[in-house]
Structures are given as C-alpha cells and as structure tokens.
Amino acid sequence: MPARVPRVIKTEALVLRHRRLGDADRIVTFLTPGRGKRDAVAKGVLRPRSKLAGHLEPATRVEVVLAHGRTLDIVTQAQTLDAFGGLHEDLDRLSTAMYLAEMADRFTIEQEDTGDLYALLHAALLRITRGDGLHLVTRSFELALLDAAGFRPEWRHCIGCGAAVSAEAIAWSALGGGLVCPACRPAHPDAAALDAATLKVLRAIQDGPYEQAARIRLTPPLAAALERVMHRLVESVAERELTGQRFITEARRAGMAATAAAERDAGAAR
C-alpha cells in the first residue's frame, strides 16, 4: 500500500500553464508554496458558466482546493487572490511574465521539492506588476532559479582551478557555468570574453539583496550584455532555447518598429 495521501488539499498557488483536455476540461499546472509543482484537472472550465473559468489563468495567484483523483487531482474550487493587473498593461511585461512561468515550469519536476521557487516567482510577478525594470527583474529571477535548481553559476572563481579571476582577462563558459581563468580557458572551447562591468552587475544581482541591485543604473548596452550572458546560460542548462526568450525579443523588436513608425508619422505631420 502506498502512503496515505490526503483526499483534499487547500492551498494557494501560482498558475504556470494550462492545456486543453477534451472538449471542456483543462489540465492546470500549479506551483505551490509547500507542495511543489502539481497538475490537476479543471473540469468544465471551458464552458462559459463554469465557476472555475477565469480563476485559473496562467500568471495569477489563486487559492484552490484539489481533490485527490485516481490518475490526476481534480480542481474542485478556485478563487483568484491576485490577477497581477499591471502585467496586462503592456506586452513587454506580459511576455516577461510568460517567460518566468515557462522557466519555473521547465526547471521543476512534478511533486518534487521546489524550495523557495514559489516565493521567488511571486516576488518577480509583483515587481513586474509595480513597474520595476524588466531586465533586472528577469536577470534576478534567472540567477535565483538556476541557484535553486542546482545550477548556480560561478562569478568569483575559475570553474576549472578555483583561482580568483583577475579583472584584466575575464572569460566565461556557458556550458561550464561560470568564469574560466586564462590557464583553464583552452579546456572550455565555448568560452567567451566577458567585460568587467557586466561581471560586476552579475555579482551584485547574484549576491543581492534585490533592492540593492535595483539601484544599479542599467544602460541599454549593459542590459543587452547581461541578457546575452543569461540567455546563453539558461539555454545551456535547459539544453534548448526557451520560447519565452524568443517572444520577449520579438515583442521588443516589434515595439521599437512601432515607436519608430509613430515618430516618423509625427515628424511628417509637423
């Protein structure tokens, strides 16, 4: 006999994703504070009169009651606690939230301990909602998530020999997960140069606290350099590019084109 499982649990949760099941049902993936990541079936949720509808959207914080089912748990009640309304005001915020949820889902295994990932994701969604800089929120979440998942990148010492890395010749390896010194660099064919300013910010974000790192002024080139490093790192751990990264980039590009067009039109009108 397997260990007895409680028949009903009531928990708050962040909704990571949902996928359709049959005509009117959905499988919803929840991230919970104490019970890790869990899938559950929301029956009839696609019917317009469903009491669950609208309370199980990704990137919302909900309170749910899950009943233990034969194959999958069943959502019996759901109530939105926080819809993070500010996320929906702007596509860059929304695409960032989608990327964070995708990462949280990708880097966890169902029903396994997810540590303080719930608190990390919740904090990140609140920061996006209140209008914090998206680059800093995202980099801070990526570094903390990699740490929680056992892939903490090394930004102080060489991953090969443990020597402190001097400020003159800094290189890093995405596959190795951190800095490499000149002597160890040949052993890491993917190693690339890293400038001192980028490294300084990576360390500040990793060391925290967030509020202190948030005081750093990220110029656009610095923000872009940080994004390139973290994308390569996340990609090498996930062993593929995350779709959310691509969507953020495409959405930003479309935004810049739209702004340029608007400015051109305004210029023509003058």
Partner 1 sequence: MHDRRADATASPIARLIEAFHRLPGIGPKSAQRLAYHVLRAPEEEARTLAAALIEVKERVRLCERCFNVSHQSPCSICLDPSRDRTVICVVEEPLDVLAIERTRGYGGLFHVLHGVISPADGVGPEDVKIAELLARLRDVDTEVHEVIVATNPNLEGEATAMYLARLLQPLGVRVTRLARGLPAGADLEYADDLTLGRAIEFRQEVR
* Structure token digits, residue 147: 């740490």
Round to whole Å and give the CA distance between 98 and 115. Answer: 21
Binding of partner 1 by 251 (CB under 8 A): yes
Q: How far does Cα 193 stand from its chain's mean position?
A: 26
Residue 20 CB, nearest approach to partner 1 (Å): 10
* Closest alpha carbon to 78 in 12, 34, 24: 12
Minimum distance, C-beta of residue 143 to partner 1, in the bound complex (Å) = 20
Contact status: 16 vs partner 1 (CB under 8 A):
yes
Distance, C-alpha 263 to centroid of its chain: 33
What CA–CA distance (Å, rounded) separates 23 from 124?
34
- Determine if 94 is a binding residue for partner 1 (CB under 8 A): yes
Residues 64-93 that bind partner 1 (CB under 8 A): 80, 83, 85, 88, 91
Q: Is 77 within 8 Å of 45 (Cβ atoms)?
A: no
Burial (0-12, 13-18, 19+ Cβ within 10 Å), 96: buried
234 binds partner 1 (CB under 8 A): no
Q: Exposed, middle or buried by CB within 10 Å (0-12, 13-18, 19+), for 237? A: buried
Q: Residues binding partner 1: what is the number (CB under 8 A)?
A: 40
Task: Give me the residue label for tokens 């160890």.
Answer: 184
98 lines the binding site for partner 1 (CB under 8 A): yes
16/199 with CB nearer partner 1: 16
Pick the closer one to partner 1 by CB: 18 or 232: 18
250 binds partner 1 (CB under 8 A): yes
Minimum CB–partner distance for residue 163 and partner 1 (Å): 39
Residues facing 19 on adjacent strands = 27
Of 67-75, 164-172, 224-232, 249-257, the window that binds partner 1 (rule: CB under 8 A) is 249-257
Positions that interact with partner 1 (CB under 8 A): 16-17, 19, 22-23, 48-49, 51, 53-55, 57-59, 80, 83, 85, 88, 91, 94-95, 98-99, 101-102, 105, 242-244, 246-247, 250-251, 254-255, 257-258, 260-262
